[in-house]
Amino acid sequence: MADPVLTVRNLNVRFRTGDGILHAVKGIDLDVNAGETVAIVGESGSGKSQTMMSVMGLLASNGWAEGSVKYRGDELVGLSPDKLNRYRGSKLTMIFQEPMTSLDPLYRIGEQLALPLTTHGGLSKAEARRRAIELLELVRIPDPQRRIDSYPHEMSGGQRQRVMIAMALANNPDVLIADEPTTALDVTVQARILELLADLQKRLGMSIVFITHDLGIVRRFADRTYVMKRGEVVESGATSDIFAAPKHPYTQMLIDAEPRGTKEPAPAGSPLVLDARDVKVSFVLKSNLFGQPTHVLNAVDGVSLSVRAGETVGVVGESGSGKSTLGRAVLRLQSASGMVRFEDRNLMPLDRAGMRPLRRHLQLVFQDPFGSLSPRMTAGEIVTEGLLVHEPRISRRDRDRRAAQAFEEVRLEPGWRNRFPHEFSGGQRQRIAIARAMILHPKLVVLDEPTSALDRSVQKEIVELLRDLQKAHGLAYVFISHDLAVVRALSDEIMVMKNGKVVERGSAEEIFERPREDYTRDLIAAAFLKERGVAAPTPATLAS
């Protein structure tokens, strides 16, 4: 074991900010041995990314590192970029969280792959091209001879991350640092990328440092784990030991934060709130000279959905499967064909004005708690804005009282209602977004990935809040998510969507215990294989 490639001692990272100096990493020690996989876990803001950014000399210009980072005995801290370039890209490499933007959109894949090869490996252009094709093969990009001349925008997120991995592995590095490499990808793609990394490690023998918030990945892949909180390592050791007997309360909390449990069923005989039949939404991608559509995307293709009071229907599927469009269509926020009934009224013939009195019963909560709140309004104004439309008669004081009540209901300090959105954390903002929906006493709430942008421990709180609100008010939920762990914890019934169609539906138990479709099995395997220690995905999924 004692063959350290990377030794970090008393590393401190600080940033000069408008509010003074931010001490992001506080004197941590860390070792990476040859050929092993090390995970650094922690929630956002724990300093896990900045630790590795400082190893690579990639801190933002207002940040600096102090302490010691040694690669096989050579000190890296304080090296000029030129000297650091002897290690970066050849001995130490890194892949990032944002596969969509990490490649230069203006250059072909082949040109970008050739850069580390010609710079560090001293290859000629022709040799670099040959090697680049080999690398694309290595990361299992189909048809590499042709794909090498593609531009990044012609590839999917998963493929771009594979290209990033190929670039990182170009010069057979000793250490590959992977900063949340799969967080931005669909679950099934995630599983394949992780498989690929594990397989490449076996073949090439490099060490991998995983920076992640996902304990599933840690449990499945990491030999050793460091748990970080607020810039410090609070616990470290063999992964199996940490999971078997977490010592630090923070680690216990993280492990405990994995969504568990199932929802209590809705009371029998609850009235039907939403009944949608054969909903279709299509988008014209291309039309000819006379405006007649030539290419049409059927985003939602004949989907039926009904929800009773107190019931949750989970809609799962990968991005592009049409689940969000379906959510908008049943709220009549997206023009669609088919039939949508709310209680006893047919919504389809209603125009905007006709829908307005019903809007208060039909609410929507979005994924992005940062983009969906107006930065120029106070939290209280945001929450009560709907009242201005639906209860225009109530006084300013009454509105303020209602805001305070709504804040209490979502367990936010009512005194905070005069603050602006940027003063709240992601989880608190999502609570504000929920309060904005709840203040109107809705009957149906469409929750579009409400927890996906949040840390696990915050996710758990939001899931509990949603469950409690549902129970208290008999709300009907349509819960849209790609995260099956959260869906299982909240849903009575689950619909699995793919390419605009429902491929499978059933009770939560049926779907998870006895999935019939391969696609459903893929989604479940991808989301839970790590947790259950199930074997790799089937060869069929890897080939596709």
For binding to other proteins (CB under 8 A), which residues are involved?
56-58, 60-61, 81-82, 84-90, 93-94, 96, 98, 101-108, 115-116, 119-120, 151, 153, 164, 167-168
What strands lie across the sheet with 20-33, from one edge to the other?
A: 20-33, 4-17, 63-71, 74-75
The CB-of-152 to other proteins minimum distance in angstroms stands at 8
Would you call 141 exposed, middle or buried from its count of C-beta atoms within 10 A (0-12, 13-18, 19+)? buried
Nearer to other proteins, 101 or 240 (CB): 101
Closest CA to 469 of 428, 435, 429: 435
Nearer to other proteins, 46 or 93 (CB): 93
Q: Give residues with Cβ within 8 angstroms of 250, minimum separation 6.
A: 227, 229, 234, 235
The CB-of-259 to other proteins minimum distance in angstroms stands at 30
d(CA 161, CA 159): 5
Nearer to other proteins, 56 or 438 (CB): 56
Beta carbons of 228 and 28 less than 8 angstroms apart? yes
Give start and end residues of each alpha helix (H) in 342-455: 352-359, 379-390, 396-409, 426-438
Phi-psi region of 258 (alpha: psi -120 to 50; beta: other; left: phi over 0): beta
Residue in the structure block whose two tokens are 């001490």: 23
Nearer to other proteins, 105 or 415 (CB): 105
Residue in the structure block whose two tokens are 């020690």: 29
The CB-of-317 to other proteins minimum distance in angstroms stands at 27
Give start and end residues of each alpha helix (H) in 312-425: 323-330, 352-359, 379-390, 396-409
The CB-of-153 to other proteins minimum distance in angstroms stands at 5
The CB-of-43 to other proteins minimum distance in angstroms stands at 22
Phi-psi region of 284 (alpha: psi -120 to 50; beta: other; left: phi over 0): beta
d(CA 93, CA 79): 17
The CB-of-172 to other proteins minimum distance in angstroms stands at 14
The CB-of-20 to other proteins minimum distance in angstroms stands at 18
The CB-of-410 to other proteins minimum distance in angstroms stands at 34
The CB-of-85 to other proteins minimum distance in angstroms stands at 4
Nearer to other proteins, 63 or 259 (CB): 63
Nearer to other proteins, 184 or 462 (CB): 184
The CB-of-177 to other proteins minimum distance in angstroms stands at 9
Nearer to other proteins, 65 or 266 (CB): 65
CA angle 82, 87, 89 (to 5 degrees): 95
Give start and end residues of each alpha helix (H) in 30-108: 48-55, 81-84
Beta carbons of 493 and 478 less than 8 angstroms apart? no
For residues 47-63, b (16+ Cβ closer than 10 Å) or e, as one string? Answer: bbbbbbbbbbbbbeeeb
The CB-of-12 to other proteins minimum distance in angstroms stands at 22
Closest CA to 206 of 230, 249, 174, 180: 174
Q: How far is CA 314 from CA 7, 82, 297, in A?
A: 46, 53, 24
Query: Side chain identity at 8, as an amino acid letter?
Result: V
Residue in the structure block whose two tokens are 């370039």: 85
